[in-house]
């Protein structure tokens, strides 16, 4: 007898992974050029050369492959804290940073660190589907706010959803899957509401800022959230900004001036221990320590965004114009987005239905792919548009 919830999770892949695996088989069958795989957020841009140099430089250092201290190497945490202070004016200190295996581990740790019995975490549709998995695994209840048509923050729904059980709100800007970047004004309103609700219920409401796409934005400001709301815990990853998703490296940063910050950080360390997430990969810690302020060439994503967004709009698709990340969120031409995703497969187009993002009737297109593949895919999108009489 095994844990049935876990068995279920293991047997049912996410919609994104399902499509990605389908694409792998189709490519083997039909050839690479016949499949337009827009399923996965795997960066197409190579990591900066400096990453390779740093790996080589550190690889032979004495003791580099040993365990670091459980929350991560103190020198690396110091480099990160200094960067956050210099760049955003943050009050971050190394003592409140915990190195993790990417944002997934950071989020898992934070949910586990905060969740007490009957606690709720609010998610805003459209949202990264694994949030529900992580929150439930921590014994908490995810509460989903309905999506706004422009993919902004649904403030009325948020005001109605917060209650005495609300422990935290998850925010992801730039957003996967919509590409939305919340403005400073929108975040200030959110912060004001959470402060008011926290005072009303007499306990802190933590903002969990999931930020793997912080550096991937096109001509818009990405405000640093702890500066606007003290009770923020940042979950960061180098998967996208340095194109290192397979290397599994990121961190949790508890704001040192958050309510009960010392307890929260101790619980983060405890959750890391309970989940077996101590000592993130040692070599990669040193590498990202060196890479503060360095990113992959995100201009490629801007070119892809412009090409795809303009072409699809011209074909009659209704799209959210992405200000950041590398996803285009498209209104499905009929309500049943799963049926559209199925139909698109005959043209080799792999588009993720919005259902698992809490956005039925939408499709996600990951445009972190070769620009040439986007160009070649446009006639296929035109066929799809014609089938639904958009053109």
Q: Provide the binding-site residues for ligand PLP, judged by CB under 6 A.
A: 41, 102-104, 128, 172, 176, 210, 212, 237, 239, 245, 250
Residue 15 CB, nearest approach to ligand PLP (Å): 13
Closest CA to 350 of 336, 333, 369: 369
Q: Which is nearer to ligand PLP, 14 or 380 (CB)?
A: 14
Query: Using N-to-C axis directions, what is the helix angle for 261-274 and 102-114, rounded to 10°?
Result: 120
Q: Which is nearer to ligand PLP, 175 or 256 (CB)?
A: 175
CA atoms of 207 and 233, how far apart (whole Å): 6
CA atoms of 344 and 364, how far apart (whole Å): 12
Q: Which is nearer to ligand PLP, 104 or 115 (CB)?
A: 104
Q: Which is nearer to ligand PLP, 40 or 198 (CB)?
A: 40
CB distance 258 to 230 below 8 Å: yes
Q: Which is nearer to ligand PLP, 96 or 277 (CB)?
A: 277
Residues 6 or more apart whose CB falls under 8 angstroms from that of 134 comprise 104, 107, 108, 111
Residue 260 CB, nearest approach to ligand PLP (Å): 25
- Which residue's Cβ has the minimum distance to ligand PLP? 102
Residue 209 CB, nearest approach to ligand PLP (Å): 11
Q: Which is nearer to ligand PLP, 260 or 355 (CB)?
A: 355
CA atoms of 203 and 259, how far apart (whole Å): 9
Q: Which is nearer to ligand PLP, 127 or 229 (CB)?
A: 127
Residues 6 or more apart whose CB falls under 8 angstroms from that of 62 comprise none
Residue 40 CB, nearest approach to ligand PLP (Å): 8
Tokens representing residue 105 in the block: 């581990």
Residue 234 CB, nearest approach to ligand PLP (Å): 12
Q: How far is CA 167 from CA 122, 198, 384, in A?
A: 8, 10, 43
Residue 102 CB, nearest approach to ligand PLP (Å): 3
**Residue 174: is the preceding peptide bond cis (ω within 30°)?**
yes
What are the phi and psi torsion angles at 216 (to 5°)?
-105, 85
Query: For residue 388, what is the enclosing H or E element?
Result: none
Residue 307 CB, nearest approach to ligand PLP (Å): 22
Residue 128 CB, nearest approach to ligand PLP (Å): 4
Tokens representing residue 76 in the block: 């690396």
Q: Which is nearer to ligand PLP, 158 or 171 (CB)?
A: 171
Q: Which is nearer to ligand PLP, 172 or 243 (CB)?
A: 172
Tokens representing residue 130 in the block: 């694994």
| CA 284, chain centre distance (Å) | 20
CA atoms of 261 and 253, how far apart (whole Å): 11
CA atoms of 244 and 25, how far apart (whole Å): 24
Residue 19 CB, nearest approach to ligand PLP (Å): 14
CA atoms of 310 and 345, how far apart (whole Å): 22
CB distance 124 to 211 below 8 Å: no
Q: Which is nearer to ligand PLP, 42 or 183 (CB)?
A: 42
What percent of the residues of the chain are helix, what percent strand, and what percent coil, each to the nearest 5?
Answer: 45, 15, 40
Residue 331 CB, nearest approach to ligand PLP (Å): 21
């Amino acid at each position: 007898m095994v844990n049935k919830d876990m068995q279920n999770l293991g047997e049912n892949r996410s919609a994104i992974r399902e499509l990605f695996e389908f694409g792998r088989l189709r490519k083997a069958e039909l050839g690479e050029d016949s499949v337009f795989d827009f399923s996965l957020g795997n960066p197409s841009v190579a990591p900066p050369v400096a990453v390779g140099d740093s790996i080589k430089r550190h690889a032979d250092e004495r003791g580099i492959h040993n365990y670091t201290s459980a929350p991560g190497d103190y020198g690396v945490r110091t480099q990160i804290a200094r960067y956050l202070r210099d760049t955003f004016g943050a009050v971050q200190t190394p003592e409140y940073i915990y190195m993790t295996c990417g944002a997934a581990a950071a989020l898992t740790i934070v949910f586990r660190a905060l969740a007490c019995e009957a606690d709720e975490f609010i998610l805003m549709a459209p949202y990264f589907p694994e949030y529900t998995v992580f929150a439930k695994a921590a014994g908490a209840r995810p509460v989903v706010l309905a999506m706004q048509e422009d993919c902004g923050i649904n403030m009325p729904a948020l005001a109605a959803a917060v209650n005495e059980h609300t422990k935290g709100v998850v925010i992801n800007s730039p957003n996967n899957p919509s590409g939305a970047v919340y403005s400073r004004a929108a975040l200030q309103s959110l912060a004001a509401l959470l402060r008011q609700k926290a005072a009303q219920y007499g306990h802190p409401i933590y903002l969990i800022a999931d930020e793997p796409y912080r550096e991937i934005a096109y001509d818009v400001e990405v405000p640093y959230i702890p500066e606007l709301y003290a009770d923020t815990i940042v979950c960061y990853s180098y998967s996208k900004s340095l194109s290192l998703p397979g290397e599994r490296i990121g961190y949790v940063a508890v704001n040192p001036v958050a309510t009960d910050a010392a307890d929260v950080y101790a619980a983060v360390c405890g959750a890391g221990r309970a989940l077996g997430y101590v000592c993130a990969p040692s070599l990669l810690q040193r590498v990202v320590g060196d890479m503060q302020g360095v990113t992959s060439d995100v201009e490629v994503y801007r070119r892809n965004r412009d090409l795809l967004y303009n072409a699809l709009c011209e074909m009659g698709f209704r799209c959210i114009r992405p200000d950041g990340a590398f996803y285009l969120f498209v209104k499905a031409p009929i309500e049943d987005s799963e049926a559209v995703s199925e139909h698109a497969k005959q043209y080799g187009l792999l588009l993720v239905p919005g259902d698992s993002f809490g956005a039925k009737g939408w499709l996600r297109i990951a445009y972190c792919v070769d620009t040439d593949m986007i160009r070649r895919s446009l006639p296929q999108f035109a066929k799809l548009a014609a089938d639904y009489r958009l053109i």
